[in-house]
Amino acid sequence: MENLTHTLLGVTLAKTGLGRWTRWATPALVIGSNLPDVDVLFVRFGEPFAYLTHHRGVSHAAVGMVGLAVLLTVVLWGWDRLSRAPRPHDTCPLSFARVFVLSLIGTASHTLLDFTNSYGVRPWLPFDDRWVYGDLVFIVDPWLWLILGGPLVCLTWRWGWRAIGYGIVAGVLTWIVVVVGAGRVPGPVRWVWGAGLLMIAAARWIQAGRYGPRLARGALAGVVVYWAGLGVAHRMALEDANRYVERVLDNRPVRTLAVMPQPADPFRWFLVAETDSVLYAGQVDLLSPNTIQPPLDPVPRTLDHQAVRAALQTPSGRIMRAFARYLFAEVQHTEQGYLVVLRDLRFGRSNTDGFAVVRIPLRGGS
């Protein structure tokens, strides 16, 4: 997930009452909820395609969660010692153990959120590099912004600069949903988003913040209910997809089949069926009489081409092969030999450059 959602979850956890558990409790939760993304530093300083290698790597695994929690605890403990003198009657003393637990909750919440989308995580690195995918939530989800952000606004609202800041954030997020997402987010979804903002304004007007920690706990319960609803929708979409694929492919062997979330719409899912030589792409619409729309679109994998086999042995090819969930290749002839373009169907099949697109030039006929 993007870092706004991670931050909202960290602050909401603090507002449940955990923020009063010890001094530096809220920073432990909020920083911890974002800290695993420290691996993006490898993008700047690492080798080509380092992002595919390192992002959601060890820092998102169980070992990394614990290690980062220890590091954050030591930093906060050290900063506390440097920044303030001991107080004999401190009403909120620092507890090293409690800061560690809160930091671990923060880092674990990050990996949990990342697991829920189709990008996936590798939780058992460095011992096992297999990816696992929740396939429930798109990587940017405006409903989580509402579920977590609404109670936060009610609990922390202050007239003045904070109110102006909330207004700016709400405007930017609405622009993302209504304008940027116009081509991918259905019209009714945008109307529901607007209704959600009005509900938050109404909750603030009736001073819902007076419920305090109960409001934050209700937000966390709302996230769980939302995930459960998505789980039901995902199961329905997967069952429909299985029946359709078995009928259309006439029981030809399918290695894997997945339905993956689409932006802001829990009723539409992106379908991929994998065979040895072809990937089949489609869309599952749970509200349509013809659930699978349009018919399955075949995408040749071209993995048995000699140039593709050679490309997959290069350093960049090995990185892409380890990262891709639904790998396919395009082979273009050039004056020097071949240009092999490796892609992952999760992120599109366009011929333009973009995320998870690896271009490997090969000289000669190999």
d(C-alpha 217, C-alpha 8), whole Å: 13
Predicted pLDDT of residue 85: 55
Q: pLDDT tens for residues 141-173?
A: 999 999 998 888 888 777 777 777 777 877 788
What residues form DSSP beta bridges with 272?
258, 281
d(C-alpha 354, C-alpha 227), whole Å: 29
Per-residue tokens: 338: 């071949």
Predicted pLDDT of residue 68: 97
Q: What is the pTM of this model?
A: 0.89
Q: pLDDT tens for residues 278-317?
A: 999 999 999 887 777 778 889 999 999 999 999 999 989 9
Kindly state the average pLDDT of the residues 51-65. 90
Predicted pLDDT of residue 10: 95
Which stretches of the chain are assigned E, i.e. beta strand? 256-262, 265-274, 278-285, 297-300, 327-333, 337-344, 358-363
pLDDT beyond 80 at 174: no
